[in-house]
Structure 1
Amino acid sequence: MTPGWGGRPRPGCSAASTAGARGPGDVVRGTAQRSRMMMARISRGVLARPLVLFDGDCAFCRRWAARWRWRTGDRVRYRPGSGWRRWLLGSPKADMRRALQLVEPSGRVSQGAEALFRALAASPRRGTRVAARLGLLPGVLQLAQGVYAVVARHRRQAAGVDRWLFGRAVVPHEYRWVRWVFLRLLGGTFLIAFTSLGRQVRGLYGTRGLRPVAERLATERREEASALARWRRIPSLFWWDASDAALVRGCWAGQVLSLALLFNVAPRLSASSLWALYLSYVAVGREFLSFQWDVLLLEMGLLAALTAPGGSRPGLGRDEPSALEVFLFRLLVFRLYFGSGLSKLKSGDRTWRELTACEHYYETAPLPTRVGWYAHHLPRRLQRASTGAVLWLETVVPFLAFGPRRLRQFAFWSLSGLQAAIAATGNYGFFNVQAGVLGVWLLDDAALRRVLPLKDGPAAQPRPWWRTGVSALGVSPLLVLGASEVLRRFEGWQRHRPERVGAVMTWLESQARPLRSVNPYGLFSMMTVQRPEILVEGSDDGEQWKEYSFRYKAGDPARPPRQVAPHQPRLDWQMWFAALGSPPGWFVAFLARLLEGSPEVLGLLAGNPFPDRPPRMVRAVLYDYRMTDVAERRRTGIWWRRELLGLYVPPLSLAPGPRPRGRLPALQWQAGA
């Protein structure tokens, strides 16, 4: 009877017959003499820790052994399977080349995928231990053994794939510098957003603006007696003070907080305050603050507040961002791009299906640029190729956000190139900036060091258990909501999800909706093929009409398209949307403010054709705009051709009667004009 390692004695077997034999669980049995030698060494403490033996002649094996060593720390020893170690185990050289071996202090010997999972189960990292134990489950282990055998038989090819996907790095990727760079750039993005809004806030939301915040909140107070219910519906700091001065001071405060985040001053507090302050504007901003980059900035701000290091001057921060936090940022990258691509495919729009969208895009963009004018005249084949490239970048490349580092780097540069092309051909406010900032999470510290002069900081410290718990508690609902937002785009998920899951998700979404921090994304799912433009005119006699000129939108055919981003002229943008349908409520308010001569609203325009007193009546005329071709522009010098389509809003004038201060004046149709 020969004692085995990790198994029961096998009666009737001699030492010679059992040397090198394998029992259940891939347990390698040595001869009785070698077993006694090993057990003697174990008793003397030689194997106080598990020992992993691998093929030391294989660079691929050495690289992965180094990666596993980082995961397990000093709890597991890793040694090349030299001759004396193989002799000690009684393991043939062929076995060592075929699979790594694990020797445990108990005497148990395993190999291949089982050895790997058992070694990783000793890791001090909770996530690694959980994954390793899952790998040891029946069925999973057998599948892993099969994959391991295939890789071992094709080691040379696997080494090439490994270098291409993961590079030569053996230490798992760190993200403290990624977090540091992201937070600095996010501070710059918030600075752009608040500076841009500050230039327009009184004209948009002041007491004599287009959407007076004070008037709206006063209406809410009359309709809802419960202060808590009002706050839940409109979470805004302007419940305390919605005066024009408060709106302006809020933008100033946003600029100060943005600078604090930019210069790494109390980043967690700064990011949290920026999120709350920008939410205060978005909650009351209605259509002028309802763009996808506004809610994307809120989502990025909330995630930043959860992952930013504490302290007043934390530097890189003491601990690493958790794997869950990194995953949430990458999930947001995926949702942003994949949501846009999927919405294009599901919209049924012919231009995307026939790859002709880019033939119309540059001409019909809300605020095109001069580069966009030239791009509109590119050859048709290139336009179709561009459309196909956009669909590929938005439906295939986003999946690489969850891939190995080389694929993630490819995704970063590909998606950054897409954003650069969009920024060059259209004015989309700070969207292209923030999308590029978000993409930083596709990189790691090693990748950043290759392009930035970054120095190594102090070593990261283990995250305290309470900080881990708080972080998990904060990000878990966001993870669930983000995953649900992706799944909700597929009809099968809606039909087949369990009823209880649906009820819980509906409740969770209703609670999170007022915070506007987990949102669906889908830009340009329907491509407009025409460009109607609204021209607003005023008159004193109904015969001679003078045009109000806007700062950035198409107007004078001889004026070239302008580059205005990252500033976003929100009135000019909404004029593009208004032209696609019937006059919205804010447009009627705009005409009323022109008749009233509101200086705040007139400040949003390029000029006032009635400097002495407001006109007696105003109207809106609709034109169809088309970009001129190259020959026509050289001949005439104009950038646009336009054709009159008719009246958008007939002449209006102020209705007689009292005009309450701070309220929109009443209007009346001007007959016969």
Structure 2
Amino acid sequence: MIGKSKTSKNIMDFKQFLMEKIPPEKAKPVLIYDDDCGFCRLWIARWSPLTQGAVDYQASQDVGGDYPQISPEQFDSSVYFVATDGSFYSGALAVFKTLAYAPNGKLFLWAYESLPGFAPVSEWGYRNVAENRKIFSAITRWVWGDNTQTPTWFLTRRVFIFLLGLVYLFAFGSLLTQIEGLVGQNGILPVEGFLKDAESYWGTQRFWQIPTLFWINAGDDFLLAGCLLGAFAGLLVMFNRLVSWALLAAWVLYLSLLHVTQPFMAYQWDTLLLETGFLAIFLVSWRKDQHDSENPPSLFILFLFRFLLFRVVFSSGLVKILSQDPSWSSLTALYYHYETQPLPTWIGWYAHQLPHEFQRFSVACVFIIQLGAVFLIFGPRRIRYLGCAALAFLDSLIILTGNFGFFNILTIALCLLLLDDSVLSKWLPVKTEKYKSPVSVFKKSSILKAAVLGVCVMLYLVPLLGNRYPSFYVSIYKVISPFHIFNSYGLFAVMTTSRLEIIILGSNDRENWYPYEFKWMPDDLKRKPEFVAPHLPRLDWQMWFAALSNYERNPWMIQFMMRLLEGSSEVIDLLKKNPFPDKPPKYLQAVVYDYHFTDFETREREGTWWTRKLLRPYTPILQLPQ
């Protein structure tokens, strides 16, 4: 296939031969290759779509006799590019002249002809590849597989958009069952009061600093309507109806809810959903007259999705290192994680019983995946597939052992964007179409895209460099931060080594105290840890965070307890058991317990999944003003 470059120009008889064989107006340049060379066939299959029919690709076994100026030995050692004027070229120059017919493909040819040293280095590399084509053929097949053609992402986009719609449905549906108790008029932190305070603080800037539709109306009916419309938008996305408008509506509604639910939607997966949803708006077509097969997904947007996935995973590994937390540095974090995470599953109970040696090995694997394997997502096809498998495997284990709402489903959906149509078409029983491979073309908009990517990288990297942020970073951050289109990530930077649980007790005489029970917290020692996800019980989660500090840093806790004293039905509905069904108690107090998983022997003997020990009061005794 490949050998030393040779050029033969101004050969009149050869030109005459070509003129007689092909009329000038129909002549195309030809790239001739050795069809017996598997390595050649792989790369011809990749180059052919790029040149978009501007170059003919012919096997030397078929057309070699038509080109008497090139001997069979030369065909065996190199590809040959035959120009329309009869001149022909071999080796690296033949490849570069071929790729010059592809959009944005003239860069290599310009470098070959203009940059000192580029030509001999190119030919040396080409010659070495030719002499070791079996090795490079094996490498090509291992990295790209048997199909080196430019991948398409039509089916991948459809699957991802379906999963994103499903996540929106889960997120809005879960919030619908809690919104009145959390931020309704009789909820823990009513929206109306929050927006009045925001108006006083921000003044005319409030609409930009807190972009929410609930400036129009903050009543309970409007909150419920927002959740219902968001869930309906998710369904439209899932069933491929008005997808672009439904994605925009879902994003606006979720952003609106996030800003008014205060601490109850302050989780990284909420901002991840907003950032993912915002990018997805640009992944789909907005033209009604254009079929999906005519509108390939933007390669730039696909790369931004890949960069988003990288930031989520790599940051989660990086913060563990930067925090200098001893449980991570000593690889002992999983001694504690399964029992101290907010809402473990029963599988998490069993995982906690595994030997410490295996737990340490598992922590090492977490670091390998989050700090190493994550870089594979930027590699060629099979390398990218391997990265996808590693990240999806980690998220699957998290789903099995803990309840993190829709977070891991969304992350797996992002991982699926690493798989192109050639993979998904094998798994899904759908009628496949022949899609045209996307070709990257440099346009004026490419400069803007490069600038956007540069800003994204800067926004990610600058915070890691210290506290002295450049002024332009601060300006950009202040402008975009209310819309959560670019966010910081990094989970479990510091591992909690004990599980503190807040139990709320009620009494009418300050002598006999009775506990309120939450729906998913381990109040009952015999309650089996359950699977809750993709539902996210936000009050239960917030109680877990509150136990890590004190009530002075969690003012919502006092508001919550006051609502219980008032007998707010919307707030009580967030709980599993109300020990005072007829009339609210006169007194409330929150106390802190230290919880631990039991072992096999204790659970077999007592039937308990948890053991606990009373530590201290969390709040003073509260009662309503007289």
With normalisation by structure 1, the TM-score equals 0.86
What is the one-letter code of the residue matched to 2:157? R
Contact conserved, 2:151 with 2:437, CA < 8 A, in 1? Answer: no
Work out whether 1:292 is the aligned partner of 2:268.
yes
Q: How far 1:400 sits from its partner (Å)?
A: 1.2
Residue 541 (structure 1) aligns with: 509
- After superposition, the Cα gap between the structure-2 partners of 1:463 and 1:169, relative to the gap in structure 1 and judged at 3 Å, is closer
Question: What SS is found at the alignment partner of 1:110?
Answer: strand
Task: Tell me the secondary structure at the aligned position of residue 162 of structure 1.
Answer: helix
The SS at the match of 2:218 is: coil
1:12-27 map, 5 Å: 26-27=5-6
In 2: Cα distance, 1:213 partner to 1:140 partner: 65
Which of 350, 353, 376 is the equivalent residue of 1:374?
Answer: 350
Structure 1 spans left out of the alignment, 5+ residues: 1-20, 657-673
Rounded to whole Å, the distance in 1 between the matches of 2:90 and 2:472 is 45
Deviation at 1:478, TM superposition (A): 5.2
Query: CA-to-partner distance for each residue in 1:16-58, whole Å, 9 max, x for gaps?
Result: xxxxx99xxx45237x8xx121222355556732221222221
Q: 2:140 aligns with which of 162, 166, 174?
A: 162
Question: How far apart are the structure 2 equivalents of 1:478 and 1:247?
Answer: 34
Determine whether 1:484 maps to 2:458.
yes
The residue aligned with 1:122 is 101
Question: Structure 2: which amino acid aligns with 1:536?
Answer: I
Seen in structure 2, the aligned counterparts of structure 1 residues 184 and 382 have a Cα distance that, compared at 3 Å, is same
**Structure-2 residue corresponding to 1:193:** 171
* Contact 2:186/2:571 (8 A) holds in 1: yes
Superposed, 1:593-608 pairs within 5 Å as 593-608=563-578
Structure 1 residues 55-105: Cα deviation after superposition (integer angstroms, max 9, x where no partner): 222111022112111110221122223597489464455544443222223
Computing the radius of gyration from Cα coordinates, the structure with the larger value is: 1
Report SS of the residue matched to 1:534: strand
Say yes or no: does 1:342 pair with 2:321: no
Structure-to-structure mapping, 1:649-664, within 5 angstroms: 649-656=619-626
Q: Indicate the larger mover: 78-87 or 199-208.
A: 78-87
Give, as a single letter, the amino acid of the residue that structure 1 aligns with 2:456.
G
Q: Deviations over 1:613-646 (max 9, x none)?
A: 2111211111111111110111111111111111
Tell me the amino acid that sits aligned with residue 160 of structure 1: A
Q: Is the 1:532–1:579 Cα contact (8 Å) retained in structure 2? A: yes
Which amino acid in the other structure matches residue 114 of structure 1?
Answer: L
Q: 2:550 aligns with which of 582, 607, 624?
A: 582
For 1:628, the equivalent position in structure 2 comes to 598
2:613 partner amino acid: E
**2:380 aligned to 390, 401, 404, which one?**
404
CA shift, 1:655, in A, is 2.5
Q: Which has the higher contact order (CA 8 A, sep 6+)?
A: 2
Query: 2:492 aligns to what SS in structure 1?
Result: coil
Matches within 5 A, 1:510-525: 510-525=478-493
Secondary structure at 2:541 match in 1: helix
The CA deviation string for residues 195-233 of structure 1, in whole angstroms up to 9 with x for no partner, is 00000001111112122111111222233332xx21110
Q: Secondary structure at the match of 2:594?
A: strand
Secondary structure of 2:616 counterpart? strand
Aligned to 2:59: 80
Supply the distance in 2 between the matched residues of 1:525 and 1:313 (Cα, whole angstroms). 48
1:645 paired to 2:615: yes
Aligned to 1:219: 197
Of 613-622 and 190-199, the range deviating more from structure 2: 613-622
Between the two proteins, the alignment pairs up a number of residues equal to 618
Decide whether aligned partners of structure 1 residues 535 and 478 sit closer, same or farther in structure 2, where only a CA change above 3 A counts: farther
CA distance in 1, matches of 2:334, 2:111: 48
* Identity within the alignment, %: 37
- Counterparts in 2 of 1:510 and 1:147: CA distance versus 1, 3 Å: farther
**SS in structure 1 opposite 2:241?**
coil
Question: Quick check: 1:27–1:108 contact (8 Å CA) kept in 2?
Answer: no
AA aligned opposite 1:506:
V
Deviations 1:425-479 (A, max 9, x none): 000001111111111101011100111112123645989999x888986x66653
Pair 1:275-2:251 in alignment: yes
- In angstroms, what is the RMSD of aligned CA positions? 2.8
Query: Match of 1:570?
Result: 538
- Assess, with a 3 A threshold, how the Cα gap between structure 1 residues 83 and 204 changes in structure 2: closer, same or farther: closer
* Structure 2 unmatched runs, 5+: none
Is residue 58 from structure 1 mapped to residue 37 from structure 2 by the alignment?
yes
What is the TM-score normalised by the length of structure 2? 0.92
Counterpart CA distance in 1 for 2:107 and 2:476 is 28
Distance 2:191 2:108 in 1: 52
Higher mean C-alpha displacement, 90-99 vs 416-425? 90-99
Q: Give yes or no for the alignment of 1:240 onto 2:231.
A: no
